[in-house]
Amino acid sequence: MFNYKLTIQYDGTEYAGWQIQENAKSVQGTISEAIKVALKKEVNLIGAGRTDTGVHALGQIANFRYLKEITPFHFQHSLNSILPKDISIIKTEKVSGSFHSRFDAKERSYLYLISKDKSPFYYKYALLKKNVDVKILNQLSNIFLGKNNFTSFCKKNSRVKDKICNVNFIRWRETKNFYLFFISADRFLHGMVRTIIGTLLYTLEKKENKEFINTIINNKDREAAGEAVAAKGLFLYKVKY
C-alpha cells in the first residue's frame, strides 16, 4: 500500500466547506470524485483541517492510500485536468505509510484579508473595512496567546468536548491596500478564527481593553463574544508537520 500527500489550493466560495456532507458540494468530495476518475478506484481522502463554508485554502494538506505505485507528476497533471478551476493540486508526493495529514499536523495557520478600499478584484476574498488601528489590535490580540478555553469563540452546536487550543502566533499587519491577520495554533474549533477576529474588531470599535476580552474568554459562552466576520476573507494558509 502506497501513501500520497497532496498540497491543495481552493476558492471555497461555491463549497459548503472541506468535509463531505449530504446534499452539499464539498471540496473533499469534489477531489475524491476526481481521484476516482483518474485512478478508476475510490480512495479515502483525509484532510488536515475542516475549513467551513466559504473559507478558502492556500495550503490545505490531504493524503490517501492506494494499492499501486503512481508517478506523482503525471497523477497531479491528470487530476488537475479533471478538477474544476477553483481547486488546484499544487504538489503531490509519496510519503511514508504512517503519515496522516490530520493527526500528524503540529500547527495550522490561517490568514484573514481586510481590504481598505472597494475593489472589483478583492470583494470575493476580503472584508471591506477602513481605519483599523493595527497597533491596538496587536496589543489586544496578545491575550489569546498560549492555552485557553475557546468555548466562547466556537459555534454553539459544536460536538467537540475539548475546547482547549494552544495559540502559538497571532499578529496583525498593515500594507498599502490591506489589513492582514495571521494566527497559528495546534488546532482550531468550528468558527473560532472568524469569531476571534470579529471580537477583536468589536473591542476596538467600542474602545474596550484586554479585560473585556478576558471576561469573554472566562464566560465560556458564545453569546458573550462578538459576531463572526464573513468567511470570504479567511484562508487556511499552511499546515506544519
Reported as a pLDDT band with limits 50, 70 and 90, residue 190 is very high
On whether residue 50 sits in a domain, the answer given is yes
On whether residue 150 sits in a domain, the answer given is yes
The string of pLDDT tens digits covering residues 73-88 is: 999 999 999 999 999 9
In this structure, the answer to whether residues 83 and 188 fall within a common structural domain is no
Reported as a pLDDT band with limits 50, 70 and 90, residue 155 is confident
Residues 6+ apart with CB under 8 A from 159: none
pLDDT at 27: 98
CA distance 22 to 170: 35
pLDDT at 215 > cutoff 80: yes
**The dihedral sign for the CA sequence 89, 102, 106, 52:** positive
β-bridge mates for residue 172, sequence order: 181
The domain of 80 spans: 2-95
On whether residue 71 sits in a domain, the answer given is yes
pLDDT at 159 > cutoff 80: no
Which of these three, 95, 122, 139, is where a domain ends?
A: 95
pLDDT at 153: 96
pLDDT at 93 > cutoff 80: yes
Across 179-186, average pLDDT: 98
CA distance 117 to 129: 7
In this structure, the answer to whether residues 129 and 89 fall within a common structural domain is no
Give the residue numbers marked as catalytic: 52
CA distance 1 to 137: 49
On whether residue 236 sits in a domain, the answer given is yes
On whether residue 70 sits in a domain, the answer given is yes
Across 121-145, average pLDDT: 96
Across 210-233, average pLDDT: 95
On whether residue 103 sits in a domain, the answer given is no
Which of these three, 95, 121, 154, is where a domain ends?
A: 95
Model pTM score: 0.94
In this structure, the answer to whether residues 29 and 133 fall within a common structural domain is no
On whether residue 174 sits in a domain, the answer given is yes
**6-20, 74-88, 106-120, 152-166: which range is least confident on average?**
152-166
